[in-house]
Amino acid sequence: MIRVTDTDGDWAAWTFSADPGAVRAARSAVRDQLRLWGLDSVGDLAALLVSELVTNALRHATGPIGVRLVRPCDLAEVLLVEVSDPLPDPPRERAARPEDEGGRGLQLLASASRRWGTRPGAAGKTVWFELTVPR
C-alpha cells in the first residue's frame, strides 16, 4: 500500500495492489483516516461502500486500485470518496436475483450515498460517491 496525503490534511489517497487483501486494507485505511479527521459518524458506511467498489475493481480490472478521500470544507458537509482502477468501462447496475451472491454493490452505493457517478481517467476510470457528514 502506498499512502499520500496533502500538507493541509484536506485529502488522503492510497494505492493498493490488485490482490484480495486490498479490500481489508482499504476499509481499514478509510476508517482510520475518518477517525483522524473526527468523522467517525460516516466511517462504517464509507468503509462498506469502499469495500464494495474495491471488490468490483478486483473482479473486473487488473492493476492498482486507488482510493481517495476529500475532507469536507467549512462550506460543505459532504465527504467525497473516489475509487479508481485501470479498466475504462464504467460499472453497470444490474438487478440481482434473491439467489445471486453478488450484484448488489452499486444498488447499495446508490441507496446509501448522497449521490454517485463515474468519470473516465487517463488510465481507467474513477467511481465516486458523496456522503453527507452530520454537523
CATH number for 111: 3.30.565.10
Q: How many domains does the chain contain in total?
A: 1
pLDDT of residue 42: 96
For residue 135, pLDDT over 70 is answered with yes
Confidence grade of residue 95 (pLDDT, cut at 50, 70, 90): low
- pLDDT tens column, 18-69: 998 999 999 999 999 999 999 999 999 999 999 999 999 998 888 899 999 9
Residue span of the structural domain in which 118 resides? 2-93+102-132
The DSSP output letter for 48 is H
For residue 100, pLDDT over 60 is answered with no
